[in-house]
Structure 1
Amino acid sequence: MKKIKIVIVENDEDERFFMKQGFEGSGVFELVGQLTNGDDLLEWLETNRTALPDVILSDLNMPGKNGYDILDYINANPDYSKVPVIVTSCSTLNSTINRCIAKGAADFVPKPETLLEYEPFVHSLHHQIRQKQLVK
Structure 2
Amino acid sequence: MFKSKIATLLGTMALSGALLLPAVPAQAAWSDWQSVSKAGSGCKVRVYTDATNYSAKATTVDAKAESNGKCGTLYYDMRLTWMGSDSMSHDITSGSFSSNTPTKSLKIGDVYENEKTYIRLYLFTDSAWTNDAGLVVSDTIYLTKNK
TM-score normalised to structure 2 length? 0.22
What is the TM-score normalised by the length of structure 1? 0.23
Which of the pair is proportionally richer in strand? 2
Q: Which has the higher helix share?
A: 1
Which of 1 and 2 has greater Rg? 2
